[in-house]
Chain A
Amino acid sequence: MEIIRVSDVYYEYENPDEPADMAVKGVSLTVQKGEWLSIIGHNGSGKSTLVKLLNGLFLPKSGAVLVDNIDTRDEQRIWDVRQKVGMIFQNPDNQMVATIVEEDVAFGLENLGVPPQEIQRRVYQALKAVGMTQYAASAPHMLSGGQKQRVAIAGVLAMKPDVILMDEPTAMLDPSGRREVMDTVQRLHEEEGMTVVLITHFMEEALRGDRVIVMEKGQTVMEGEPAQVFSQVERLKDIGLDVPPMTELAHRLRAHGIDVHGAPMNVEEMVEELCRLKQEN
């Protein structure tokens, strides 16, 4: 089932960094319920602008964005749109409002006018879902970056969204924080069937998804399953993106006449494929 439909959307900032250039130019895409869509692309390719169009933070100059069949330009229903499509930002510090973790998680529900008892129940559930219950009464500035991002995820989860948008949620974290956040997201996706739209510049994060979209200069230039997209090594390199190391190795082996099948994405898959080849010969 389709939850978000973007049709031929254009967006232009009022004071663009590069004049006469739109940030998003004619993008069309859909997000299906329960899928994990990763968006990759160069800095300035319009990824952040695109996701801000998905929850009505920005409104398209032309074209339309439908969330569960609600047009994001429908002023009456903008709060429904934002409840359905939650958003996690890059900087964990700049998205927490309250001085206590549980109050921050409650913030969205308070804005929606949910009754107090119900808020308490849902805040507790959300904190449990991200494994942060023992920090309910802590001050945000005492938490690590990864923990802050998990609290931010709880704040979105508590609103019972259909989709979580994440704009480079791990870009400011250390490796352990990054793993912590990605594992949380993966668990929510697998166990609760949460729909995820993830912008990332870590290719191994994009690999976890069901589908990858590559953006360049405000347009979507590639789209498909991770294995399919990452097998087009030359094209990705032209756009200026990194390719996962094993995918690149497979590409180079093929260039030397070794017929590696598919696009192995981690060491295990590569080992398996090489063993298979060895047995064949």
Chain B
Amino acid sequence: MLKDITLGQFFPGNSAVHRMDPRVKLMLMVVYIALVFLVKGFLGYAILAAFIAGTAFLSRIKPKFLLRSVKPVLFIVVMTFVLNIFFYRGEELLFQWWIIRVYKEGIRFAVFMALRLVFLLVGTSLLTLTTSPMALTDALERLLKPLNAIRFPVHEMAMMMTIALRFIPTLLEETDKIIKAQTARGADFDTGNLLQRAKAMVPLLVPLFVSAFRRADELAMAMEARCYHGGTNRTRMKQLHVTGIDYAGIAVVAVTTGLVLLERLL
């Protein structure tokens, strides 16, 4: 059951969006996030919507999957919406009851905030749907390399992320096994109050942690045996190249940015 949980939500493919250099995608994502905060009116959101729809179409990711990313945080979106409606103080009072006052500006603001969240979620999930976690880690490591100058351990962070990505499926599989083994011996993980359930987790977590530490120990040994000694003088097999597709992508984002700025000024 736990095995079905896939890490991230990467959808392998060969579309133009998939083939873009992850570094470029990551940087364009930063620009996109800025745009989401710059947008002033509905026209601006229409521009962003057109951009997202176009990219999604090119990437051949089904809209269903894009919207799925909103689901887990739907509650937060709705809460932001409701709170903003009730607590925003504007000028044009539409409706008043007890201490609740709803202003026209409040509705507008609430809608904008909700849209902003949705656009952020859909945009970032478009990135994670078309880029493998490994490629993202790789891109981050290369983009953040200058931070080495201020002694930020860029390579080490990236290596930690890689190892986490590598071992999450293994540990999930192991958790599954332990749960089954303990259930077979009469352990009960699903009933009882919170405290009882937390207690039931102990025989699950203890062996899991013990094994994780043993794995870490053995992996460290195996990495050393294969000459790992940190990021110095290390080369990479996969080279990243900025190609025509990337320039096209940059151009599209540039146009979108121009339009959004225009909308803001008008």
Contacts and interface: CB of A to CB of B under 8 A. Distances in A.
Interface of A: 52, 55, 57, 79, 82-83, 86-87, 89, 91, 93-100, 102-103, 106-116, 119-120, 123, 139-141, 155-156, 159
A109 B237 CA distance: 8
Nearest to A58: B221
Interface of B: 132-134, 162-163, 165-166, 169-170, 173, 214-215, 218-219, 221-229, 233-239
Chain A to chain B: the 9 pairs with minimum beta-carbon distance, closest first: A95-B222, A94-B218, A108-B226, A106-B237, A141-B169, A111-B227, A119-B237, A87-B225, A113-B233
A112 B236 contact: no
Nearest to A155: B226
A116 B235 CA distance: 7
B226 A89 contact: no
Given A98-B162, A116-B237, A89 B221 contact: yes
B226 A107 contact: yes
Contacts of B229: 79, 111
Contact of A116 (B162, B169, B214, B239): B239
Given A102-B237, A106-B237, A113-B233, A95 B219 contact: yes
B227 A82 contact: yes
Nearest to B137: A99
18 contacts: A89-B222, A93-B170, A97-B228, A99-B133, A99-B162, A99-B165, A106-B237, A108-B227, A110-B234, A110-B235, A110-B236, A112-B227, A113-B234, A113-B235, A116-B238, A119-B235, A141-B169, A159-B227
Contacts of B224: 57, 82
A17 B100 CA distance: 70
Contacts of B222: 87, 89, 94-95, 97
Contact of B235 (A93, A94, A95, A114): A114
Contacts of B163: 97
Contacts of A79: 227, 229
Given A94-B218, A111-B228, A116 B236 contact: yes
Contacts of A91: 215, 218
Given A99-B134, A108-B226, A141-B170, A94 B215 contact: yes
A103 B237 contact: yes
Contacts of A97: 162-163, 166, 219, 222-223, 228
A57 B227 contact: no
Contact of B166 (A83, A114, A115, A140): A140
Contacts of B237: 102-103, 106, 109-110, 116, 119-120, 123
Contacts of B234: 110-111, 113
- Scoring A93, A108, A140 by chain B CB atoms within 10 A of each residue's CB, the highest score goes to A93
